[in-house]
A and B are shown apart, each in its own frame.
Chain A
Amino acid sequence: MSSEPCAIIGIGQTKYKKKRDDVSLPGLVREAAQRALDDAELTWTDIDAVVLGKAPDPFEGVMMPELSMADALGANGKPLMRVHTAGSVGGSTAIVASHLVEMGIHDRVLAVAYEKQAEGNAQWGLASGKSGGMGAGGIFAPWMRTYINRSGAPEDIGWKVAVKDRQNACKNPYAHLQLKDISIEKVKESPMLWEPVHFLESCPSSDGACAMVLTNEKGAKRASKPPAWVLASAMRSELGQFPGRDPVRPVAGVECAHMLYDAAGITNPRKQIDVAEIYVPFSWYEPMWLEGHDIAGPGEGWKMTDSGATQITGDFPVNASGGVLSSNPIGASGMIRFAEAALQVRGEAGEHQVEGATVGLGHAYGGAAQYFAMWIVGSSLDAVSAKK
C-alpha cells in the first residue's frame, strides 16, 4: 500500500451573492462543476467519481440532496459520496476526494461543495430552529473577547482585518461583498452584533458553489494549465465542550496544523508558506488562527495583522481572495479556501494573485471551533524543499 501524488487541475466557482435566484440547487452546483471541468479541459465522462460536501441539510430544506443532484453532478453510474463535517466540510470534501486519487482508487475525481442559504434561514438552521438564533457569532464572540484579553491586542485589529479582506474581495470577481469604500471608520461605526464583533467584522450569508477536479500524476501531465499539487492534508476533531477545554486555541487545531506541517516537510510555516487562505468568518479569527496554528507565537498573531504582514503585499498574505468575510456559502466556504490556495500556486488568481507564490495553505474549521481540515498545495512536488 502506498500513496501517489494528487494534483488539482481544474477549479470552478460561481459568483457568490446573497441570493442566486437565477439558478436551482442543481443549477448552482452544475455551474461550478462545469467551470472546473472547463478549466481542466475535461468533459463529464472523464470523471470517475464525485464527492459532494455541504453544511446541514435544513439550510435549504432538502434531505441528502446529493440524491436529487446525482444527474446534475454527472454522477449516474459512478460513485457519489456526501461529506458533512460542519463548517470544515468544504475542506474535508476536498481531502476525501484527494484520498480517492492518492490511494489509486480513481484517476479523476470531481469535488463539489455548495450552500444556497437564501433558500432558508441559516441562523434558524444552525440552531435547529430552537435557540432563538444565537448564531455562530454568539458562540464565537466570548472566545474572541478572551483572545483580546489574553493577547492584549488593541481593538482596531479586528477592524483592520475587516478592511483588508473587503479590499481584497474587490480584486476577486467571484466575491460576494464588493465594498469599495470600506474604511476603519465604517467598520468601527457599524452596529455591534456580538461584542466585540461589529456588523462589518462578520461574514455575509451567501449562495454559491465551488468545484475542483483532482487527478494523479498522469492526469496532471496531460493538463495544459499548471497543476497545484497536494503536498499534505490533515483533519482533526475534538469534543466541543468539556472542562479544561481551551476554545481560543483548541488542541485539535494545533495538532492538525503540526500533522500538516510535518507531512509537508514544513518546519517554519511563516517562512515556508507563501499564501494562506484561512477560514476567518469573524475578523478576530485571523490573529487567533495565526497563533492557533503556530504560524505566529503566543500573543504575536495580532502583530502580523497590525504590521500589514497579512496583506497581499505582506510577507504572509492571508485571504487574498477576500476570504469568508467577503463570501460565505457555508458548506462551500472551506473548499473555496482550499481552491483559492490552489489557484495561487497555479498562478491563476488574477488580480488578487500573490506574486511568486509556490506554497499555499488552505484551511477550514467548524462546529464549536472543534473540526479542522487543512491542506498544503504547491506549484511542484518539491515546492517546500525548494525553499530551504
Chain B
Amino acid sequence: MAGDIAIIGYAQSPSWRAAELTEAQFLFPVITEAIERAGIGRRDLGFTCAGSCDYLSGQTFSFVMNLEAVGAWPPISESHVEMDGAWALYEAWVRLQHGDIDTALAFGSGKSSPGVPAEIFPLQMDPYTITPLGADPVSLAALQARALLDAGKITEREMAEVVARSRKSAIGNPYAQVTGDHDVDALLAEPYLTAPLRRHDLPPISDGASALVLATADKAKEVCERPVWIRGIDHRIEVHQPGMRDLTTSASTRLAGEKAGVGRAPVDVAELSATFSHQEKVLCEALGLGDKVDVNPSGGALAANPVMAVGLSRVVEASRQIADHGKHRAVAHATSGQCLQQNLVAVLEGD
C-alpha cells in the first residue's frame, strides 16, 4: 500500500511562443524557486527526475544539458523519462515510497519553438503505417472532434465555450501565453483551420518548464505549513492506432482515474491537459467530473502548452488551488501521444 507523499514546493516558467533562453537557462530559476518554496536546500534533495524530449529540441541528449539547471555537483541520484514531467513526478513518487530518502525533485521542460510541430509530431506515430501519411496532431485532433460531433457528444458551440472560458480564466494567470475575453458567437464566426477545428480550438505553441518538490509525510509536516497531499496517482496507455480506439471516450483516463481514486470524494477543481478544446469534455466524462467542478482555472493547455511540462504544470496549478486558494480536493491530468493515447491522473488534497 502506497504511503502519502506531499507536494511541498512548486514553480513554473511563463509560457513563451519562442524563448530566447536555452531550456537549461529557463529551467534554472524554476527549479530554484520550487526548492526555495519548499524550504529545503538544493543539496537536501534525495532524488531528482526529469522529463523532456530530444525530438522537440532537435538535440540528442538534450536532458544532459538540463542537468546544469539542477546543479549535479557533487553528484546526485537522478533519472530521466522521455515523457512529460508528470511521469517524472510519478517516478519520484515511487522512489519516495522506499522511505530511505525524504525529498525529491521532479521537473519537465520543453522548447517547441525551434521546430515545426506539424512536421515533428508525425514522427511520434507508427513509423510503418501512419508517419508516412504525415498525420499531424491538428489533423488527428480534428478527426477526434469530428467523431464527437457526429456522435452528438459535443457541439461546436460547446467547444467555443471551453475556449472562451479558458482564455478568460487565463487573464489572471501570469504564466499564460494566450488570454482574452471572447464572445462565443464571435469565436464561432471564425473560419475553420482544419474542420471542424478553428484556430482557437488549438493550443498555442509554447516553450516553458515547471518543477515540483515532493516530500514524505514526516518531512512535509516538518518543513511545510500547507502541504498538498498526493492521495492517488496512476497512469495508463491504450492502443496506438487512432482507428482502433473509440475517440469519443478515453478508456485509459477512466481507468487511471479509478485507480487514483478520483470518485472516492467530491472534486473541487480539476486541471486537465485538454490540448484541444473538445478534449476537455472527453476527459471530464472519463473522470466523472460534474458541473460543480471548477475546470482549468489557470486557463489550461489552451492558454499555455509547453510540451513535456504542460502535464506537470497541471499538477502545479492544482497544487496552487489547494495551497493558495483554499480548495480541498483537486484532480490533475497529463497526457501523451495523440488523441489522448496515454494519460496520468493524480488526486491532490489539502490537510
Contacts and interface: CB of A to CB of B under 8 A. Distances in A.
Interface of A: 1-3, 24-25, 56-58, 60-71, 75-86, 92, 95-96, 99-100, 102-105, 125-128, 234-240, 242, 250-252, 255-256, 259, 367-368, 370
Given A63-B53, A76-B238, A237 B97 contact: no
Nearest to A50: B237
Contacts of A235: 77-79
Nearest to A53: B82
A180 to B, nearest CB: 35
Residue in B60, B128, B255 whose Cβ sees the most chain A Cβ within 10 Å: B60
B75 A81 contact: no
Nearest to A245: B73
3 pairs of A and B residues whose beta carbons are closest in the complex = A252-B75, A103-B97, A1-B99
A78 B63 CA distance: 26
A238 B76 CA distance: 7
A100 B54 contact: no
B63 A58 contact: no
A331 to B, nearest CB: 11
Residue in A3, A63, A78, A368 whose Cβ sees the most chain B Cβ within 10 Å: A63
7 contacts: A63-B120, A67-B341, A70-B238, A82-B82, A105-B2, A235-B77, A238-B73
Contacts of A239: 67-68, 72-73
Contacts of A67: 124-125, 237, 240, 336-337, 341-342
A64 B61 contact: no
Residue in A24, A66, A102, A237 whose Cβ sees the most chain B Cβ within 10 Å: A237
B6 to A, nearest CB: 13
Contacts of B238: 70, 76-77
A70 B77 contact: no
Given A57-B54, A367-B64, A104 B82 contact: no
B217 to A, nearest CB: 9
Contacts of A84: 54, 63, 80-82
Nearest to A242: B73
Contacts of B241: 71
A78 B236 contact: yes
Nearest to A129: B60
A301 B263 CA distance: 59
B2 A103 contact: yes
Nearest to B125: A68
Given A79-B234, A83-B82, A56 B240 contact: no
A229 B206 CA distance: 45
Nearest to A62: B127
B126 A68 contact: yes
A316 to B, nearest CB: 25
Interface stretch (B87-95, B174-182, B220-228, B292-300): B87-95
Given A77-B251, A77-B255, A92-B79, A63 B61 contact: no
Contacts of A77: 236-238, 251-252, 255
Contact of A76 (B55, B81, B130, B239): B239
Interface residues of B, number: 62
Contacts of A251: 74-75
B82 A57 contact: yes
A332 to B, nearest CB: 15
B333 to A, nearest CB: 15
Given A1-B97, A56-B60, A99-B95, A70 B2 contact: no
B152 to A, nearest CB: 27
Nearest to A52: B82
B156 to A, nearest CB: 29
Contacts of A368: 64
A70 B239 contact: yes
A1 B3 contact: yes
A68 B79 contact: no
A126 B121 CA distance: 21
A86 B67 CA distance: 13
A28 B87 CA distance: 25
B317 to A, nearest CB: 23
Given A61-B127, A76-B239, A104-B1, A236 B76 contact: yes
Given A63-B123, A68-B127, A79-B234, A99 B239 contact: no
Given A64-B82, A96-B91, A127-B60, A238 B72 contact: yes
B83 interface: yes
Contacts of A105: 2, 94, 97
Nearest to B124: A63
Contact of B98 (A3, A62, A82): A3
Nearest to A72: B240
Contact of B80 (A69, A70, A83): A83
Contacts of B94: 96, 99-100, 103, 105
A64 B55 contact: yes
A127 B54 CA distance: 12
Contact of A63 (B55, B73, B252, B342): B55
B79 A83 contact: yes
A111 to B, nearest CB: 14
A234 B77 contact: yes
A76 B237 contact: yes
Contacts of A79: 234-237
